[in-house]
Amino acid sequence: MSEPDQETQAGSTDETGNSSLIETHVTSDTSVDTQGENPTSVVETRNLSVYYDEEQALDDVNLDIYEQEVTAIIGPSGCGKSTFLRCINRMNDLVEAATIEGELRFRGTDIYGDNVDPVALRRQIGMVFQHPNPFPKSIYDNVAYGLRVQDRTVTDEIVETALKRAALWEEVKDQLHTSALDLSGGQQQRLCIARAIAVNPDVLLMDEPASALDPIATSKIEDLIEDLTSEYTVIIVTHNMQQAARISDRTAVFLTGGELVEFDHTTTIFENPADDRVEDYITGKFG
């Protein structure tokens, strides 16, 4: 039944080992997600450390991401949350200063293996960035961009579906061919989400997708994320505790220095964290 879970235990450090044990117990009685009781891990992280030149950004991280779940990553500014996301789809390849140690597996394949093409990998693992970054093209072309670069056929239906799922369709359906730069910040961010889901990736990485949004747009995006888990695995970085609590199945807490202090079911993290520092962080005592 719980092969992946055992793997988790085997590879965990002492600190998270405890929580992994708890997790196996809890899995059976939580019904937060739609899937069965046999979560498959999509991304497995083993002893991952990242350095920018001399400076360490991640410190020996072990963390598994389960299929069709929302995993939230929280922690104070500069603790390496974005770095972790950027390791998963190898965006850090573009940063010459970054060196990566340890192991990352995507559905069993070593992400940093010799044969893996980062471009092909990124086609499987989509990303929404911290700040909206639409292309200076039309709304339509933005959504179609991923399909075009992947040599897939672009149809109006795909574009429409993506925009609908990102809760943007109603607002833009009459101006699909105007520039995306004319949209508001919140609309741009939803466009970036539409752009990312249009290519139907396996995993979606979201780096503080709601950081620049008003409460209404934020709640639209939260609804969207919940909706997405029927098909996708989502990893979301957020500074908003309520948001993490509301939408995620599991939560990972990083603290300064790039250390993963606790990783568990969201309910556990928020109601009964094993580590004092996590409790302090969540209740706002530091960070």
Q: Which residues bind ligand ATP (CB under 6 A)?
A: 52, 57, 77-83, 95, 97
Contact by Cβ (8 Å): 153, 163:
no
Sheet of 233-237, strands arranged across: 109-110, 98-106, 41-52, 55-66, 259-265, 250-255, 70-74, 233-237, 203-207, 125-128
Which of 8, 20, 41, 82 is in the footprint of Mg ion by CB under 5 A? Answer: 82
Closer to ligand ATP by Cβ: residue 61 or 245: 61
> Which residue is associated with the tokens 């009964």?
272
Q: Does 116 bind another protein (CB under 8 A)?
A: yes
Give the chain's end-to-end CA distance (angstroms, integer): 38
Helix (H/G/I), strand (E/B), else coil: 184: coil
For the bound state, the minimum distance from the C-beta of residue 145 to another protein, rounded and expressed in Å, comes to: 6
Q: How far apart are CA 263 and CA 145, in angstroms?
A: 35
Q: Which residues of 150-168 are buried (b: 16+ CB within 10 A; e: fewer)?
A: eeeebeeebbbbbbebbbb
Contact by Cβ (8 Å): 266, 248:
yes
Residue 83's binding partner, choosing from another protein, Mg ion, ligand ATP, none, with beta-carbon cut-off 5 to 8 A by kind? Answer: ligand ATP
Size of the site for another protein (CB under 8 A): 37
For the bound state, the minimum distance from the C-beta of residue 80 to ligand ATP, rounded and expressed in Å, comes to: 4
For the bound state, the minimum distance from the C-beta of residue 176 to another protein, rounded and expressed in Å, comes to: 13
Residue 192's binding partner, choosing from another protein, Mg ion, ligand ATP, none, with beta-carbon cut-off 5 to 8 A by kind? Answer: another protein
Residue 52's binding partner, choosing from Mg ion, another protein, ligand ATP, none, with beta-carbon cut-off 5 to 8 A by kind? Answer: ligand ATP
For the bound state, the minimum distance from the C-beta of residue 218 to Mg ion, rounded and expressed in Å, comes to: 17
- Point out which residues bind Mg ion (CB under 5 A): 82
